[in-house]
Amino acid sequence: MSDAFVSLQDLTLAYGDTVAVPSLNLDIREGELIALLGPSGCGKTTTMRAIAGLMAVQSGRIEIAGRDVTRVPANKRGIGLVFQSYALFPHLTAFENAAFGLRLNRTAQADLVRRTTEALDTVGLGHLSSRRPAEMSGGQQQRLALARSLVMQPKVLLLDEPLSNLDARLRLEMRTELQRLQRETGITMVFVTHDQSEALALADRVVLMRDGVIEQIGTADALYNTPESAFAADFMGFENIFEIENATLKAASGRLPLGFSTDAPCLGWRPGDVHLGDGPFEARVISVAFAGRHREYVLASQLGPIRVDVDIAAPAHGVDAPVRFALPQATARPLRVS
C-alpha cells in the first residue's frame, strides 16, 4: 500500500526460541488511530515494542514514512511510547519527567517551559507539576506518562493500555481528550487495549489479534456488526455461538434442528438477538440479573448455557421457570470456525 505511514511487513518477533508474533502484516495510514485489541498474551505489547525499536526483529521489515527503520535504533525513530507500567523517572518531579526529552535535545528554556506546561495541562496535571511520581495516584502517573510522550510531538504515538488505570469518569474524559489530541495534532496513534468497548469507541480501525496473528482488521462498525470468525464474534459480544452441520446445531449434549438452511459452518447470536417466550427450544432459567433497560438471563438448554437479554417491559421469568426460546434466522451472524 502506498499510503501506509507505518508499515509492518512479514514481521516475526521472538523471545529466544519462542515466537510471539509470526509474520505480521499491517499498514497504518498517517493520522490514523488504530486499536490493537486482543486477549492477554496475544502479542500486543511485543508488536508495540518492535515498532518502537525496543525489540530486535527476527525477520521482516518496519517502514515509517516510507523509510526502512528496521535497523534504526529506538532513540532515532521519533516514536513515543506510553508504557503499560508507566516507566516514570522516580527521581524527577512531574514537570521534569515531562520535560525530560526537551532538556535532552537542548530546547530553549522558555520554549521548554511552555511546551511542558501545555502538555501537563492537557492531561490535567498542571497543578501537580512539582510532585514526584511516588506521590501520585496510578491514574495520575498514567497521565504523566502520556504527557511525557506528547511533549516530544512524536510522528507516531504508541500507547500500551493508556486508560486501564483510570476510573470510569476519567476514562471517558481521557478518551475524549485522546481523540481531540489526535484530531488536532494529526499524530498517528496505535493504542493497545483488551477492552473491546474502548477499542470500538476510539479507533478508526480495530486490529483484533490472537496468538500473535491478526484475526480481523476493520472499522469499529465492521468488527462489531460483521465479525468473520467465531473468535472475533466472541470478542464482540456474540455470546451464543454454535457450529452448524447439515442444518443442525452441534452442541456437547447433542444436535438440534436449526430450522433453516445455511452454508455457514458456524452461527452466532448476541444475547439481545435471541428470542425468548416462544420457539422450538426448551430451557430452564438459571439466573436473572437486572441491568437497567433489560434483564440478563442465563438459560440451561440442550445446547448448553444460553445468554439472553430481554427488554425490561417484557414479563419477567423467575429462576427455575421453564421457558422456550428461538434462534432467529434474521439475527444470525454467519462465522468461520476458529
Partner 1 sequence: MTSRWPIWLILGLTLTFLIGPFLIIILAGMSAGNSLAFPPDGLSLKWYAKVFTIESFRASFGLSLFLAVFGTLAALIIGIPAAYALNRYDIPGAETIKTAVAAPIIVPGIIVGLALLRYLVVPLDVTIFMALFVAHTALVLPYAVRVVSSSLQNLRSDMEEAAVLLGCTRLQAFTKVVLPNIKGGVLAAFILGFVTSFNEVPVSLFLSGPGVRTMPIDMLSYMEITYDPSVAALSALLAFLCVAIVFTAEKFLGFSRYV
Ligand X SMILES: Nc1ncnc2c1ncn2[C@@H]1O[C@H](COP(=O)(O)OP(=O)(O)OP(=O)(O)O)[C@@H](O)[C@H]1O
Task: Give residues in contact with Mg ion (CB under 5 A).
Answer: 45
Contact flag: residue 118 with partner 1 (CB under 8 A): no
Site for partner 1 in 181-210 (CB under 8 A): none
What letter represents residue 53's amino acid?
G
User: How far apart (Å, rounded) are the C-alpha atoms in residues 301 and 284?
Assistant: 7
Q: What Cα–Cα distance (Å) separates residue 260 from each residue in 233, 246, 271?
A: 21, 10, 20
Strand pairing class (33-37; 59-64): unpaired
What are the residues whose beta carbons fall under 8 Å from the beta carbon of 327, sequence distance 6 or more?
240, 249, 258, 259, 267, 269, 274, 275, 279, 281
d(CA 154, CA 189): 10
Contact flags string 6-45 toward ligand X, x per CB under 6 A: ---------x--x-x-----------------x-xxxxxx
Site residues for partner 1, window 10-69 (CB under 8 A)? 52-54
Query: By the 8 A CB rule, do 97 and 174 touch?
Result: no
Contact 139, 170 (CB under 8 A): yes
Q: Measured between alpha carbons, how far is 53 from 63 in angstroms, rounded to an integer?
A: 12
104 binds, among Mg ion, partner 1, ligand X, none (CB under 5 to 8 A by kind): partner 1
Q: Which is nearer to partner 1, 20 or 79 (CB)?
A: 79
Pick from 35, 48, 69, 81 the residue near partner 1 by CB under 8 A: 81
Q: Is 46 in the site for ligand X (CB under 6 A)?
A: yes
Pick between residue 45 and residue 129 the one whose CB is nearest to Mg ion: 45
Question: Which of Mg ion, ligand X, partner 1, none binds 148 (CB below 5-8 Å, type-dependent)?
Answer: partner 1
Q: Is 79 in the site for partner 1 (CB under 8 A)?
A: yes
Write out the binding residues for ligand X, residues 53-92 only, by CB under 6 A: 84
Q: 162 is in the binding site of which of ligand X, partner 1, Mg ion, none (Cβ under 5 to 8 A by kind)?
A: none
Q: How far apart are CA 155 and CA 194, in angstroms?
A: 24
Residues forming the site for ligand X (CB under 6 A): 15, 18, 20, 38, 40-46, 84, 194
Residues forming the site for partner 1 (CB under 8 A): 52-54, 73-75, 79-81, 83, 85, 87-91, 100-101, 104-105, 145, 148-149, 152
